[in-house]
Structure 1
Amino acid sequence: NGSALVPLAAMARFSTDPSAISINHQATFPAITVSFNLRPGASIGPVTQQISQAVAALRMPASISGAFAGTAAAFRESMASEPLLILAALLSVYVVLGMLYENLVHPLTILSTLPSAGVGALIALLLTHTELSIIALIGVLMLIGIVKKNAIMMIDFAIAEGRQHALPPEEAIVRAGLIRFRPIMMTTVAAIFGALPLVLGSGYGSEFRKPLGISIIGGLVFSQVITLYTTPVIYLWLDRASQRLRRRRKHA
């Protein structure tokens, strides 16, 4: 009979199972999101690296791929651009100082003060158990503009003394260190006291500003102690090296 009903079990086998209401897609591929949280005291940098190693150890087929999203993806993108950002800042400072002094050697003397500032900032972050976040890195970039003024004060004065009074580089840099010592200390102490509210503040969002103040203070204190001794030495080394190059060019 054409009107007779045929049971579904006669031609198919079916079962009841739980299933997703909807299937998410990323681009044209079905995708699922696996979320994770950080333990207290853990940093997102090492955690993302451990997750990448765990995924690589699974040896999943080529049809399955994974990528970070959200905060982890933003962190990786920022870390990828940080070296270029620092390099661009150093290059721009070198170009401006080279145009100011009309010399390619003296800007290197001024830039030589920056590594000590970065080391001081990292030491301060380690001592205070503070992670190197984006805000702390901004503090390190700020130190590029704050710390180099110590060398600018000394180098600028030494160059002016050498040109006006025909002093040798050794005597000119000694006079610069003696006369410029007080303004260098005053500006550094003023910058340190300006950063103290960032560290000592306890209001809303203080944990967001503390890494900035810690990196600034640590970099200023460490670089102040180091650069007062290293800047004159590097100035004399580079000045003698430039004089040797001039002599070789004349002989050539």
Structure 2
Amino acid sequence: MPLSIFGYLGIIALIGIIVNDSLVLVSKMNTFLKEGMEFKEAVYQAGVVRFRAIFLTSLTTIAGLAPLMLEKSFQAQFLIPMAVSVSYGITIATVITLIILPVMLMVKNELKRRFHWARH
């Protein structure tokens, strides 16, 4: 399927959704850190607490776009690339937000802890 201008608009919308999901997770993690929780536990608890919100938001967005992706009418043909790019992008972004982002935060914190002497 060729990518049209609507497909590119879908990608731009997708960037906003990804940033929002990541902010929800990181914001909750920062709240736990301010409460005095250890970093590893704060990352874990943020994932546990915000899993439902992030997952259900992604799932309902994909479910809402599914009828458009399956539409066969001529009028919908222009919007189908946008729906496809957003749906697949959200699927991948949800995995990245819920799995890869916490891992990256843990690795960053561990590197910062081990190489604290290099900052000075």
Q: Same fold (TM over 0.5)?
A: yes
Q: Does 1:191 align with 2:50?
A: no
Query: Matches of 1:226 and 1:161 in 2, distance apart?
Result: 21
The root-mean-square deviation of aligned C-alpha atoms, in Å, is 2.0
CA drift at 1:167: 1.5
* Bigger Rg, which one: 1
The within-5 A match list for 1:19-34 is: none
Identify the residue that residue 77 of structure 2 maps to in structure 1. Answer: 207
The 5-angstrom pairing of residues 54-73 of structure 1 reads none
Cα distance in 1 for partners of 2:53, 2:109 equals 24
Q: Which has the higher contact order (CA 8 A, sep 6+)?
A: 2
Tell me the secondary structure at the aligned position of residue 180 of structure 1.
helix
Supply the AA of the counterpart residue of 2:54: I
Q: How does 1:120-159 map to 2 (within 5 A)?
A: 130-159=1-30
* Aligned partner letter, 1:169: F
**Equivalent AA in structure 1 for residue 24 of structure 2:** M
Task: Quote how far apart the aligned CAs of 1:131 are.
Answer: 1.0
Query: Hey, which of these two has a bigger chunk of helix by percent?
Result: 2
Distance in 1 between residues matched to 2:73 and 2:101, nearest whole Å: 39
Query: Share of identical aligned residues, percent?
Result: 28
What does 1:1-252 align with in structure 2 at a 5 Å threshold?
Answer: 130-164=1-35, 166-243=36-113, 247-249=117-119, 252=120
**TM-score, normalised relative to structure 2:** 0.85
Deviation for aligned residue 1:136: 1.1
Contact 1:147–1:223 (8 Å) recurs in 2: yes
Partner of 1:56: none
